[in-house]
């Protein structure tokens, strides 16, 4: 194992005290695999928030990768209050070869993920129309989309006016999409079934 020259690591894990970051990867992997010359990863870590202080931000996590030379790393950290206080951290090398991307929030940093087929969205803030445009552009070959959001869109009542002024872009999905939306506010049904907001080149399965 220590003689590996190439490693692709894809994991989702619950942690107790701190997210997996550049420091933990260096300490637990790179320092023990000195022959490693190609290291790609897609790591999701989550933890319950109890009495922790000074919780790390996205910028804090990103700084732990300063020594990862010649490798682009994307980090994203979120904190939630429901159904209990917890945080999540997603880190990945870019470009990414992963075929799924889970629990994307409004903090999603963007990018192009042509290999991703399965996507899930979660937040305690509403997903506005512009967010879905970004998702459609970042995951052009997405086949399954799950949405978990109970909060009504702030722009729900203004999209008709925006469309009349030709300021509303359409979210375009080029592949057959299996859509799971039953655990979200009804406004997201309208978001996907309104042809002034969303265009499906192929069929959609609800």
pLDDT digits (tens, 9 = 90+) for 8-60: 999 999 999 899 999 999 999 999 999 999 999 999 999 999 877 889 999 99
pTM, to two decimals: 0.90
- Give the β-pairing of 171-173 and 177-180: unpaired
Please choose, from the candidates 134, 127, 41, the residue with its C-alpha nearest in 3D space to the C-alpha of residue 89: 41
Tokens of 87: 């945080």
pLDDT score for 162: 53
Q: What CA–CA distance (Å, rounded) separates 179 from 169? A: 21
pLDDT score for 131: 97
Residue ranges covered by each domain of the chain: 1-94, 99-206
CA triple 80-81-85, angle to 5 deg: 85
Q: Are 43 and 10 in contact (CB under 8 A)?
A: yes
């Amino acid at each position: 194992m220590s003689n590996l020259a190439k490693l692709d690591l894809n994991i989702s894990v619950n942690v107790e005290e701190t997210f997996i970051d550049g420091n933990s990867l260096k300490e637990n992997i790179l320092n023990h695999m000195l022959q490693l010359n190609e290291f790609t990863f897609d790591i999701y870590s989550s933890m319950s928030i109890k009495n922790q202080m000074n919780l790390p931000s996205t910028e804090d996590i990103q700084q732990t990768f300063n020594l990862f030379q010649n490798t682009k790393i994307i980090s994203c950290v979120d904190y939630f209050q429901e159904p209990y206080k917890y945080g999540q951290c997603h880190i990945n090398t870019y470009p990414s070869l992963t075929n799924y991307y889970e629990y994307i929030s409004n903090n999603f940093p963007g990018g192009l993920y042509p290999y991703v087929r399965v996507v899930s969205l979660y937040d305690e803030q509403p997903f506005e129309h512009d967010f879905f445009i970004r998702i459609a552009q970042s995951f052009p070959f997405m086949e399954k989309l799950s949405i978990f959001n109970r909060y009504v869109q702030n722009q729900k009542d203004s999209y008709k006016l925006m469309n009349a002024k030709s300021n509303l872009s359409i979210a375009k999905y080029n592949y057959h999409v299996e859509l799971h939306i039953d655990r979200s506010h009804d406004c997201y049904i309208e978001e996907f079934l309104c042809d002034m907001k969303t265009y499906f080149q192929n069929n959609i399965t609800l």
